[in-house]
Structure 1
């Protein structure tokens, strides 16, 4: 049987930053498969030379989304791209949270503000609805197309001018914005990210709180993170499974990361669903890189190639 030709797709800006790439390459080598790490926007790449192209760390897409999505379509026409284009298009814009909420998924309460809307009026409505007159109410303003906490900031109701300036800047740049209450339990409990390969749970991590009051939004590719291994509780596993079942996909995805935080009562809520280019934190899950490689190779066998 011919060894499959597999590309792990990254970005020039992510070279040296993606801690998952070395263990992934080693896992494929242990499986007897040679892989190539390729930049998504390298015009010299013939994508038809690969049986599978796996999106890994294309982390500069947030500043180049139309270009990136056009490349996704071209690459998918030439090879098997995972995850597939329809899922990538859906997941790279956080409006998907509204769709999941409509399907009954417990999400962090979210309000969307679109370019051309009255930012001041939208902000007042949001604070009135969720702050309920509490002068200590805190919330987050972030772009709907964004990753790694880039351009996201934590604000307080007592300083609406700062939040309004942030929101107006996003809208003026033609970017839809997302407003969410800051759920304070994250300061102690952190986030729980659950990793799934081919619909099977692999491992989970705890991510420490990222956004601090009066701290400017990061301009780096992603904000620095404090990561440790975590065993998810039954409620977190249940919500993750419900979320995966609500994804508009016909079959389990090659990879999925479900990011949860707790509300004031300790119930998990979906913060983000990462299906395009998530960190998979192989270093915090024993055997996870090998499980990932096996999942990719399983897709190759399923395709009959």
Structure 2
């Protein structure tokens, strides 16, 4: 589309990027869609891999629920780099969709859940005792993730790691943080404020999901979600994490920082979600989350 075409259109066009699993978007994104349309924008839900999509005709494409990219990550990243105006940016997606970024944040001195990595062809010796989580470094929605109690489930844990690495995937192994069973996981959502700076918006509590060995994909939305006021320690930790995003947090449209208390009670980073996180807009309604995000998108047109 030429600049003249953009100039003569009646409305700016925004694509909310999804996948064929949710052709009309994930339910949590409906308030955002409606808020943007209420501002006079033309809004489409578009599959990231739709061969008929003409991304150049959109003034902005916003990543929301492309959750089927996992087995096709290389294709997904190549697609992201081809989209003219994408948020969050393609470089951020490339960095954040492989959880080996956790090792880089740990090296920077951030409080990250201790994580070991097992690459294809690499031998793995399981810990002798304790509860451990095994998952691939590229995943979404807790796909291919399991919890193992050692030594009783040692063989199952070994089989899980072997299955991942035999498929050419890198496995990651973390201690199961038992505080999630009682206190849950805190997800802090950051959105642009009126000045465009990424600031804390709202938080939610996610209940425990992993009960045992990997048995397949956990459906999105199956966890228990409740609004939560984060502690001062959680706010400090999340702010520190955002300060270590390559290229700076100022170029982001959104971020989510997932924390669980460690053995000493201090927050540990479980995941930094910059690619396609649920933003729990309905739970953040009292904080004006949908309005903030819609305003941020509008301002970036």
Fold conserved between structures, TM > 0.5: yes
In structure 2, relative to structure 1, the CA distance for the partners of 1:223 and 1:232 (3 Å cut) is same
1:60 and 2:68 aligned? yes
Distance 2:53 2:170 in 1: 33
> Which residue of the partner structure matches residue 188 of structure 1?
182
Give CA-to-partner distance per residue, 1:112-163, whole Å, 9 cap, x none. 11001013x3x2xxx26xxxxxx4x101000000011110000011221110
1:42 and 2:50 aligned? yes
Distance 1:203 1:139 in 2: 30
Q: Secondary structure at the match of 2:300?
A: helix
In structure 2, relative to structure 1, the CA distance for the partners of 1:89 and 1:156 (3 Å cut) is same
Give CA-to-partner distance per residue, 1:21-48, whole Å, 9 cap, x none. 2111111123232211111111111111
Distance 2:74 2:259 in 1: 28
In structure 2, relative to structure 1, the CA distance for the partners of 1:251 and 1:142 (3 Å cut) is closer
8 Å contact 1:147–1:222 — kept in the other structure? no
Distance 1:164 1:151 in 2: 14
Shift of 1:15: 3.2
> Which residue of the partner structure matches residue 284 of structure 1?
283
Q: Secondary structure at the match of 2:21?
A: helix
1:153 and 2:151 aligned? no
Distance 1:17 1:138 in 2: 36
TM-score by length of 2: 0.90
**Structure 2 gap ranges (5+):** 1-6, 193-197
**Structure 1 gap ranges (5+):** 129-134, 301-305
Mapping of 1:1-305 within 5 angstroms?
Answer: 3-15=11-23, 18-75=26-83, 79-119=84-124, 121=125, 123=126, 127=127, 135=129, 137-158=130-151, 159-198=153-192, 199-214=198-213, 216-219=214-217, 222=220, 224-252=222-250, 253-286=252-285, 287-300=288-301
In terms of fraction of residues, the more helix-rich structure is 1
Distance 1:266 1:200 in 2: 25
Shift of 1:221: 5.4
The count of aligned residue pairs is 284
Aligned-residue Cα RMSD (Å) equals 1.6
In structure 2, relative to structure 1, the CA distance for the partners of 1:223 and 1:114 (3 Å cut) is farther
8 Å contact 2:29–2:281 — kept in the other structure? no
Shift of 1:16: 5.5
TM-score by length of 1: 0.89
Distance 2:215 2:260 in 1: 20
Q: Secondary structure at the match of 2:76?
A: helix
8 Å contact 1:149–1:217 — kept in the other structure? no
8 Å contact 2:19–2:49 — kept in the other structure? yes
Shift of 1:8: 0.5
Shift of 1:218: 2.8
Shift of 1:223: 6.8
Distance 1:5 1:193 in 2: 30
